[in-house]
């Protein structure tokens, strides 16, 4: 996925949000039955994820690492630094989250030498771990587009004034009033209705007010044009 530098922080913010969600879901599966083991034909017992110290530690660590990535996307304005930390945290967290159910299913349960079958928690834990790993991959493949500065020719703008780091311009957001049919919020990709829409006064892009508030509180800029919000 190649996106412009400006949109990179938005993209990483989105990835971080989904990572935090997947991490939370993973930790919550600890409360669900991970395995049902049968000692004999009458007595069965249910193993929840939190009952074993190993799975508890691995899954909580994995989930927390995934959740931390959202904090990182919130605290840094440098896309490439955010990307590195995002990739490291999600791959590390994803591996820990993945090892947790596999350890139970492939090491602990066979060691009990009883019949056992994985439960709903086991599968959700495994799936959420895969999601965390996949998001790490997505973050890894998200790169800024190389911006080529067009040749200006004679009498064009001199090289010195063409800079990739423009002076910090400012913008503000206003209630959008009317929103055209089918407009989607660039943050959450769902459609925007007039009653909760705000518009950037510089670039004119429409966002959900809730989505925008969350982004601006953290980054202080318009997610689309990157101008500082005053």
Tell me which residues touch Zn ion (CB under 5 A).
Answer: 185, 187-188, 200, 202-203, 208, 211, 222, 224-225
Q: Rank residues 107 and 184 by Cβ distance to Zn ion and give the closer one.
A: 184
Least spacing, CB of residue 79 vs Zn ion, in Å: 17
Please report how close the Cβ of residue 189 comes to Zn ion at its closest, in angstroms. 8
Q: Between 68 and 197, whose beta carbon lies closer to Zn ion?
A: 197
- Do residues 183 and 207 lie in contact, with contact meaning Cβ atoms separated by under 8 Å? no
Sign, CA dihedral 202-206-210-214, equals negative
Q: Which is nearer to Zn ion, 117 or 169 (CB)?
A: 169
Supply the minimum distance, in Å, between the C-beta of residue 221 and Zn ion.
Answer: 8
Question: What separation in angstroms does the CA of 226 have from each of 113, 171, 214, 216?
Answer: 59, 9, 15, 10
183 three-class SS: coil
Measured from the CB atom, the residue of 137 and 220 that comes closer to Zn ion is 220
**Number of alpha carbons in the 13 Å side-chain half-sphere of residue 84:** 5
Rounded to whole angstroms, the maximal C-alpha distance in the chain is 90
Sequence-distant (6+) residues with CB within 8 A of 39 are 45, 114
Minimum CB separation of residue 128 from Zn ion in Å reads 23
Closer Cβ to Zn ion, 138 or 229, answer by number: 229
Interior CA angle at 144 toward 140 and 149, to 5°?
A: 160
CB of 139 to Zn ion, least distance (A): 21
């Amino acid at each position: 996925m190649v996106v412009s530098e400006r949109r990179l922080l938005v993209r990483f913010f989105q990835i971080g949000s989904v990572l935090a969600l997947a991490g939370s879901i993973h930790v919550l599966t600890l409360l669900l039955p991970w395995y049902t083991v049968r000692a004999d034909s009458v007595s069965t017992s249910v193993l929840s994820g939190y009952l074993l110290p190993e799975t508890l530690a691995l899954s909580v660590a994995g989930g927390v690492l995934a959740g931390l990535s959202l904090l990182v996307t919130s605290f840094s304005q440098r896309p490439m630094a955010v990307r590195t930390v995002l990739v490291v945290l999600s791959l590390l967290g994803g591996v820990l989250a993945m090892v947790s159910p596999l350890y139970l299913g492939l090491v602990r349960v066979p060691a009990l030498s009883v019949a056992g079958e994985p439960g709903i928690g086991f599968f959700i834990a495994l799936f959420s771990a895969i999601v965390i790993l996949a998001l790490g991959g997505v973050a890894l493949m998200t790169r800024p587009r190389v911006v080529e500065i067009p040749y200006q020719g004679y009498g064009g703008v001199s090289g010195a004034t063409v800079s990739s780091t423009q002076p910090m311009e400012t913008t503000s957001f206003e209630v959008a009033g009317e929103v055209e049919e089918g407009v989607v919020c660039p943050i959450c990709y769902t459609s925007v209705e007039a009653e909760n829409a705000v518009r950037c006064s510089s670039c004119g892009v429409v966002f959900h007010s809730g989505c925008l508030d969350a982004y601006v509180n953290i980054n202080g800029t318009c997610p689309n044009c990157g101008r500082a919000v005053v």
